[in-house]
Chain A
Amino acid sequence: TQLLEQSPQFLSIQEGENLTVYCNSSSVFSSLQWYRQEPGEGPVLLVTVVTGGEVKKLKRLTFQFGDARKDSSLHITAAQPGDTGLYLCAGGSNYKLTFGKGTLLTVNP
């Protein structure tokens, strides 16, 4: 069974602060995806990384895939209240996704 450990589980910060969320596994995935979920809605894809060592930037969000394709991180710069939500990492293998437990981020104004 492939497992993804995501940390921290909860994070409450002030507007303007930086944060990093981690996603680790003992398994190799063909892709690593990050989703954001708001209450009452399904997860929405933020980014997919497929190459070991890959770094992708999406405005204030920076995503990194580990060299061995077993871990990933999400870094948010100058967090805003609109960044509040549940952040989920998901490892892709064949056609299936394995989700981490999620990080519930609250950004206080």
Chain B
Amino acid sequence: SAVISQKPSRDICQRGTSLTIQCQVDSQVTMMFWYRQQPGQSLTLIATANQGSEATYESGFVIDKFPISRPNLTFSTLTVSNMSPEDSSIYLCSVDGINEQFFGPGTRLTVL
């Protein structure tokens, strides 16, 4: 298993600003994933982040809006840029195990 922490746990931001979310894992992992969970909804994959390469984004998500860094095998960041109220969600990072993923506790973002 893997233990994952995220910072911040929650934030309230003004529209037009940007927020960077950090994800730290207690072991080295190849793949890290970023998901969005809108209120009352399920998880939608934003992108897959591999160390040493550009993140791979899913349909509907672009790098300009959600830039991702993966500087090493235990850490990643997701930035939500030029935020609007529609970006209010829980953002979760996860890492790949064998036939499972381990999730962080999430970052609850509210955009006013």
Contacts and interface: CB of A to CB of B under 8 A. Distances in A.
A75 interface: no
A1 B44 CA distance: 13
Contacts of B41: 101-102
Contacts of B96: 95
Q: Which bracket fits the contact residues of B?
A: 20 to 34
Contacts of A98: 45
A40 B45 CA distance: 19
Interface residues of A, number: 23
Interface string B14-45: 00000000000000000101000000011111
Given A33-B99, A42-B4, A45-B102, 6 more contacts: A41-B106, A42-B105, A90-B43, A95-B31, A96-B45, A101-B42
